[in-house]
Structure 1
Amino acid sequence: MRFIAILRTSEAHGFPPPALHEGMAELGAEAAAAGVLVDTAGLLPVTTATKIIVADGELITSDGPFDEPVPVGAYAVYDVADRAEVIEWTRRFMDLHRRTWPGWSGESEIRQVFGREG
């Protein structure tokens, strides 16, 4: 089963500390070695984003910044046996943030990829 874990966090936190980068590299290597991590990346700030919107039958292209309550900051795609497994990997990722970045707050949303069983 394929899932995407979407990290939402305030961009006001700035860039992650080195300890978090190191921990994410180790966790990513572990997940890749386990054969469950398909892809992962951080995203540039919403000020660099472009949206393509369909509204009233028209296509509208709009450049950021956008007023998003909690912007998407990163994602990870997992190919796992079940929902419990992706939850465990995502909990470990979020716990790494908690332990290495005092004062940081954010959330991860896990969603199954439609029509992808593997």
Structure 2
Amino acid sequence: MPRFLTMIRIDENNVPAEGPSPELMERMGKLLEEITKAGVMLDTAGLRPTSEGSRVTWSGGRMSVTDGPFTESKEVIGGYSITQCKDKAEAIEWTKRFLGTHDEYWTITAEVREITEA
């Protein structure tokens, strides 16, 4: 069965300062429990802010490291999941359910991509 990487993109400048509400965390927890019991979820996690990250770039034969925050980025990856689904449609359906757990003031984009098997 194919595996899918879902990258959750957020605008760090528009995330509530207090973070996710307890109600959101409860809804998310229930969905993650359901998707895990269904045997679909392989791994998932949120990511620390870009202010704590670094970018390593190889360009023109030179290596550079840039420490965050990455203010030039409108959207950054705020979390990810790796799922094993029968097809892309199923991966998208689980992703839609995940996004739907969020309150209406959140703006989130998810990119779903199949992982190439070697």
Same-fold status (TM-score > 0.5): yes
Question: TM-score scaled to structure 1, two decimals?
Answer: 0.90
2 CA distance for matches of 1:102 and 1:95?
A: 9
Q: Equivalent pairs: percent with the same residue?
A: 35
- Letter of the structure 2 residue corresponding to residue 4 of structure 1: L
Q: Does 1:2 align with 2:3?
A: yes
How far apart, CA to CA, are the structure 1 residues paired with 2:112 and 2:79?
12
TM-score (norm 2): 0.90
* 1:39-91 Cα distance to aligned partner (Å, 9 max, x none): 00111111111111101101111111112121111111101111111011001
TM-align CA RMSD: 1.1
| Equivalent-residue separation in structure 2 for 1:46 and 1:77 (angstroms) | 21
Question: Paired residue for 1:26, among 24, 30, 35?
Answer: 30
Q: Residue 53 of structure 2 corresponds to which residue in structure 1?
A: 49
Q: Output the amino acid matched with 2:108.
A: G
Offset of residue 102 of structure 1: 3.2
Structure 1 or 2: more helix by fraction: 1
- In structure 1, stretches of 5+ residues that fail to align are none
Q: Which runs of 5+ in 2 are unaligned?
A: none
